[in-house]
């Protein structure tokens, strides 16, 4: 009899354990798909918010979103940001206070992934508060600087979607007053990143009185929103710890990826060189310009300046520039004549999209190489 009872109890315990395992497995599956696929928008059924910012109240839902953090997922955050401040703004004419040095809505480390499909429609839905041309200013405080974010571009539409998906919410949380400018090189001649950045400087200033210019590759996403996209006392290098370099600065004078200069700093170095055609060297030239003009590069903490780069092959017509090693030896001589003061180009079209302004330009081609011998 007692044996029978013992057997039954054991059977019940086994059943309960099995059931628990099943429930656990189901939860893991749901989380797995939400994190790695995003296409299975399972949690959105429990979330009535229209945009990504309102989804921030659910830490799990957040994980694969631009607001996602490891800390939030692990429950180690000391706070989860409340609903987006925009929602509480009324139209009373009260003057807004200056924005705080360290915005309170930052979430820290972010989970960045590029495996899910991204569409522009989705990114637009996520960012209803961004106005035409990719403009935004914090509704509840006055930012000290107006920031133009400038992206050199050609045939990277897929990367641009991810960039917008991640960066708009980050910049919003950082309380940046900003505009996004895509400088699109027309034609198939050799790519010229630094010249496009110079054009971005001139063209964005035609749109507004920007104080600060942040130059970003289209494939680079910050992994921490404490890496604040504004200008500093010295020219700023933001992308200091990239996945492709093992999250370390590849060399002391590295200035590639994402950088930021105030108007004054930019003009002090005569802008960027226009004569680097093809891949490489232009970032080192800019670094030389900064140090030769008595400035220092400022950088965030290595734990904060982390970036993920979307994997890609080298583009066509952006082959490594064989002249780059020679050219970077000569910055001291060339910087006065080659720069913003000697910039020539032709704007073919300025088009305002909901999340960015596209400026398509003709920039010419490299001068013919001198004949050998
Ligand atoms: C590195 C630097 C980059 C620059 C470049 C040398 C990093 C993360 N970045 O990038 O700042 O110094 O070397 O020139 O180390 N682009 C297009 N279409 C093209 C070619 C380039 O849109 O056909 C743009 C795009 O924004 C891209 C950027 O130019 O992100 C840099 O080119 P890349 O990504 O091919 O070069 P990469 O990753 O070696
Ligand atoms: Mn790249």
Residue spans of alpha helices (H) in 118-182 = 120-126, 157-173
The number of angstroms, rounded, from the C-alpha of 275 to the middle of its chain's C-alpha atoms is: 26
What is the pLDDT, as a whole number, of residue 306? 98
Residue 45 belongs to a domain: no
Q: How far is CA 333 from CA 329, 339, 368, in A?
A: 9, 12, 21
Closest CA to 47 of 69, 65, 32, 33: 65
Closest residue by CA, ligand 1 atom 10: 257
Are the C-beta atoms of residues 290 and 232 closer than 8 Å to each other? no
DSSP 8-state symbol, 356: -
In a domain, 83, yes or no: no
Return d(Cα 186, Cα 160) in angstroms, integer: 17
Residue 43 pLDDT: 33
Extract the tokens encoding 17: 């354990």
Q: Does the residue 30 lie in any domain?
A: no
Tell which one of 193, 275, 307 to mutate to probe ligand 1, the residue whose CB is within 8 A of the most ligand atoms.
193
Residue 288 token pair: 């030389």
59 in any annotated domain: no
Task: Say what the pLDDT of residue 3 is.
Answer: 64
For residue 260, being part of any structural domain is answered with yes
Q: Is residue 15 part of a domain?
A: no
- Which residues line ligand 1 at a C-beta cut-off of 6 Å? 151-156, 191, 193, 217-220, 242, 256-257, 279-280, 282-283, 309, 314-315, 318
The answer to the question of residue 55 being in a domain is: no
- CATH code of the domain covering residue 235: 3.90.550.10
Q: Is 214 inside a domain boundary?
A: yes
275 Cβ contact list (under 8 Å, min separation 6): 327, 334, 338
Which portions of the chain are predicted below pLDDT 70? 1-4, 14, 21, 25-93, 372-373
Give 161's strand partners.
Answer: none
Of 335, 232, 340, residue with least CA distance to 290:
335
In this prediction, residue 330 carries a pLDDT of 98
As a whole number of Å, the CA-based R_g of the chain is 25
Domain coverage including residue 148 = 120-362
The residues pairing with 136 across neighbouring beta strands, listed in sequence order, are 178
pTM score of the predicted model: 0.80
Distance 192 CA to ligand 2 centre (A): 14
Q: How many domains does the chain have?
A: 1
Residue 225 near residue 162, CB atoms below 8 Å: no
């Amino acid at each position: 009899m007692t044996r029978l009872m013992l057997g039954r109890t054991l059977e019940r315990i086994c059943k309960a354990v099995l059931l628990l395992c099943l429930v656990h497995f189901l939860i893991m599956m749901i989380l797995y798909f939400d994190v790695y696929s995003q296409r299975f928008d399972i949690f959105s059924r429990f979330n009535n918010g229209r945009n990504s910012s309102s989804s921030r109240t659910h830490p799990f839902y957040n994980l694969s979103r631009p607001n996602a953090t490891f800390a939030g997922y692990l429950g180690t955050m000391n706070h989860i940001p409340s609903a987006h401040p925009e929602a509480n703004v009324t139209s009373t004419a009260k003057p807004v206070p200056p924005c705080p040095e360290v915005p309170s809505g930052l979430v820290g480390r972010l989970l960045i992934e590029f495996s899910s499909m991204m569409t522009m429609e989705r990114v637009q839905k996520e960012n209803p508060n961004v106005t035409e041309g990719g403009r935004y200013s914090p509704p509840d405080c006055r930012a000290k600087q107006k920031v133009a974010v400038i992206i050199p571009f050609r045939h990277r539409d897929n990367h641009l979607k991810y960039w917008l998906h991640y960066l708009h919410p980050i910049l919003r949380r950082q309380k940046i007053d900003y505009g996004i400018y895509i400088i699109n090189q027309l034609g198939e001649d050799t790519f010229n990143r630094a010249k496009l950045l110079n054009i971005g400087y001139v063209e964005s200033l035609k749109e507004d009185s920007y104080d600060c210019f942040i130059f970003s590759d289209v494939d680079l996403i910050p992994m921490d929103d404490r890496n604040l996209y504004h200008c500093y006392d010295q020219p700023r290098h933001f992308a200091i710890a990239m996945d492709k370099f093992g999250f370390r600065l590849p060399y002391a004078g590295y200035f590639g990826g994402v950088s930021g200069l105030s108007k004054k700093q930019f003009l002090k170095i005569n802008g960027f060189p226009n004569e680097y055609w093809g891949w490489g060297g232009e970032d080192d030239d800019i670094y030389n310009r900064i140090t030769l003009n008595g400035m220092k590069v400022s950088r965030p903490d290595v734990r904060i300046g982390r970036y993920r780069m979307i994997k890609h092959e080298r583009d066509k017509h952006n082959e490594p520039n064989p002249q780059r090693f020679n050219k970077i030896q000569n910055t001291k001589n060339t910087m006065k004549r080659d720069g913003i003061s000697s910039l020539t180009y032709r704007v073919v079209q300025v088009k305002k999209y909901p999340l960015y302004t596209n400026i398509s330009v003709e920039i010419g081609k490299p001068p013919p190489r001198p004949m050998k011998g």
